[in-house]
Amino acid sequence: MPESPSDHVDESSTEAEPEFYYAVLNLPKTATDHEIRDRYRQLSMLFHPDRQRSKEIEATAVKRFLEIQKAYEILSDPITRQAYDLFGLEGVKLLSPRQAWEGLSPDEIKSELVRRRMETEQVRLQRYVDSKGQFTVTIAAVPKEEPETNRWYADVWNRVRNIRPVSFGMKHVLSVPVTERTRVILTGSSSLQNEGGDARSAIFGRGLQGTVRHQYSPRLNFQASTSMLNLRNMRLRSKYHDEDNEADIQIFFSPALVNAFYLQGHQLMYWVPPTTTTVSRRLFPGRNVWGRLTMSTLPLLPQFRFDLTSFYQFDLAREDDEDTEQHVESRLPSRTGLEAGIAFWDIGVELDGLLPALVGQLGLHFQESGIRVKTGLNLGLVTRKITLGAAWSGETAAGSNNIGVDVGVGTDGVVLNLDMTYFNQRFYLPIVIALDLDEKAAFWTTVIPTVVLVLSHHFILKPRRRKARIEFFRQARRELREAKSDIVRQAEETRLLLKETAQRHTDAETSVDGLVIADARYGPTETDDALEGLTIDVTVPLQALVSKSQLYIPGRRSKAGLQGFFDPVPSAPKSLRVRYTFRGRPHYAEIPDYMPVVLPLEGE
């Protein structure tokens, strides 16, 4: 692949100055392409090292010659010049990879450069200070009185006019590195609860917590937290993990957690620091099935929970012998964005004091489109609840932006939760629809977000996937012309070398009415307009492999390694499509890349 200007840009203090390369060529920013090319020829001839007769000035001439070369390389290309005019050398570096910008208009290039620069600046700032915020507003949409009629719109209007905020919460986390292994974290929070609507009954809360986190090794870390408003309250936590085991221990220290009990009329005091211990272990070697035990000691009754959890990657377009994990990460964009991802499930038993409950969840994360869907279940003696949720996340250079919705329906009511994260700032909006199990409210609260999700996927996400597919194949065609030109040339030369052998086999097979390859194409399994020009003609190489009216190619490996073949679209599932004649009759076969080829097909 040819180098881009950003691959060898020297960020010295002088060259990083605005318009430096215009100064090198002694041209204004309004210079035309012709003027840039003309000045480059003049100066490159003047400072060319081979034209210098004095050894004393040769080093200076080389330096000036390289500056002229880089100036011309950046300013002669309209895309790199636009990036340089906007943000200097930093803008040129934002163009990597250079091929991705082909075909974009100047306005599109400017918009994308501005976006990338904002993300780069965000990442740069986060290297020093990691700032995260969370804003929570709980809203009640519970009618204070029953509507006069049973019509659905009366119920909706009754809920809308009774909407009221009942609590506010804000939390901000500031994380600053002290050393390579140690960070100091400050967490500030404030809350306001006002369920009655009366200012005199409002409950205010605030807190400031300081944490020191130290990473002893890649597997073990330790952190200590304390309330900055009450230094007597402290929490210690340590986490360990390796490939097959995980452990998490938390201990809380607080003078307020002192309990009393009576023995023969005397009050006795005791104090046991509450501890939460979680231990996880992989249950089967090489499989992602884990057992997790959580034990929590509270001042009164302990809590226990045991879970079985598992996750695995799936790819509906995967070839049999391909590595699933690698293929998901580097596969071509699918039409729907729902063909590859991670599936997970979790089932467990929870004991809160003397009340047992069965808990579980099942979910799918489609990595291509960023869609996550899950359902959860909690069945206890007192409460029963089911949760349905969906979210979408978009990856950026500065992190992950997220928008999601979930609905909880159970004996404790109906709650709709809206959740959005943007540049590490989370906005959380729980809406209480009903305080008990209301079937009508549960139905509409579930249906409306589902309809919105389906419409969003159809009108927003699918067009994004279509655009990503077109760009993927455009890049593949560009690489065939540029980066893989030598591979294409070698394959064509190999086919020329095999042409005489293939012709002899064709003549021999024709004389006995045997196997003759009429046309053979190797390329992506999918067929649409975006794939035009990405299949290669392998008729000659296949005919050269025919022997005694049979063609056999072993499976369990890609056919891209055959003589005269090459891979036109890496990471895309490929197939071999063959039209052939046998015993005077035409036939057609389509064979996936990793499957063996046996022609003629059985029964022909």
Domain that holds residue 406: 128-457
505 with 569, same domain: the answer is yes
CA distance 383 to 412: 7
With beta carbons less than 8 A apart as the criterion, state whether 577 and 598 touch: no
pLDDT at 154 over 80: no
**Considering only CA atoms, which of 1, 7, 3 is closest in space to residue 93?**
7
The residue among 243 and 278 whose pLDDT is bigger is: 278
Arithmetic mean of pLDDT over the chain? 81
Same domain, 207 and 188: yes
* Domain limit, last residue, from 123, 146, 181: 123
Shared domain check, 501 and 453: no
**504 CB neighbour count, 10 Å cutoff:** 12
> 320 vs 475, which has greater pLDDT?
475
Residue 468, in any domain of the structure: no
pLDDT, one tens digit per residue, over 486-529 is 788 888 888 899 999 999 999 999 999 999 999 999 988 877 66
Show which of 64, 88, 123 is a domain's final residue.
Answer: 123
Number of domains composing the chain: 3
Structure confidence by residue, pLDDT tens digits, 400-436? 678 899 999 998 889 999 999 887 788 999 999 888 8
314 close to 324: Cβ distance less than 8 angstroms: yes
Are residues 33 and 171 located together in one domain of the fold? no
Instruction: Return the closest-CA partner of residue 342 out of 360, 369, 320.
Output: 369
* Gyration radius of the chain over CA positions: 34
Q: Are residues 154 and 302 in the same domain?
A: yes
Are residues 132 and 117 part of one domain? no
Residue 472 resides in a domain: no
Q: Give the CATH number, domain containing residue 66.
A: 1.10.287.110
Considering the domain architecture, whether residues 134 and 116 belong to the same structural domain is answered as: no
Which of 558, 557, 563 has its CA nearest to residue 540? 563
